[in-house]
Amino acid sequence: MKDIVDRAYALLIQIGKLCQPVFLLAIRLYFFWQLLIIGWGKLINHGKVTEYFASLGIPFPGLNVYVVGLTECLGGALILVGLISRLASIPVIVAMIVAYFAGDPQAVASFFSDSDKFVKADPFPFLFSALIIFCFGPGWFSLDNLLKRLWDRRRQYR
């Protein structure tokens, strides 16, 4: 019986390993395309977003619109294609944490008491997916992986 359980568990692990690259690709394509579009929206609607940032009490709202918009656009684009993904996820994570504290402090305050409020806040899917990419990398279907394989092949023939 133990042998059957061990083999079944090993099979489950193999299935999970096969799903991982597709899962990471799906996360990158879905969430970081959206983030890129949101960042672009901030940049092309600078005036309105500056007013919104000012209403939240964010210092230097005009400058911060550019910083956040470029972070979302550039970070979203880099993670989308899987290029320097872990590095690109860091400013996205920081931007989403700031978005939580500046835009929805009640969600942060209710992290333990009302977790639904926290996970339903706008920054959550982007923060969570950026954390996944930071922790697990962009996966097999990425420019990071392609460049690593080319680099390894180049070193192999030296």
DSSP string, 8-54: HHHHHHHHHHHHHHHHHHHHHHHHHHHHHHHHHHHHHTHHHHHHHHH
Q: Which domain holds residue 104?
A: 21-156
Residue 11 lies in a domain: no
Tally of CB atoms within 10 A around 8: 10
Residue 74 lies in a domain: yes
- For every one of its 158 residues, what pLDDT tens digit does the chain have, with 9 covering 90 and above? 889 999 999 999 999 999 999 999 999 999 999 999 999 999 999 999 999 999 999 999 999 999 999 999 999 999 999 999 999 999 999 999 999 999 999 999 999 999 999 999 999 999 999 999 999 999 999 999 999 999 999 888 87
Which pLDDT value is given to residue 40? 98
Residue 13 lies in a domain: no
State the total domains in the chain: 1
Residue 38 lies in a domain: yes
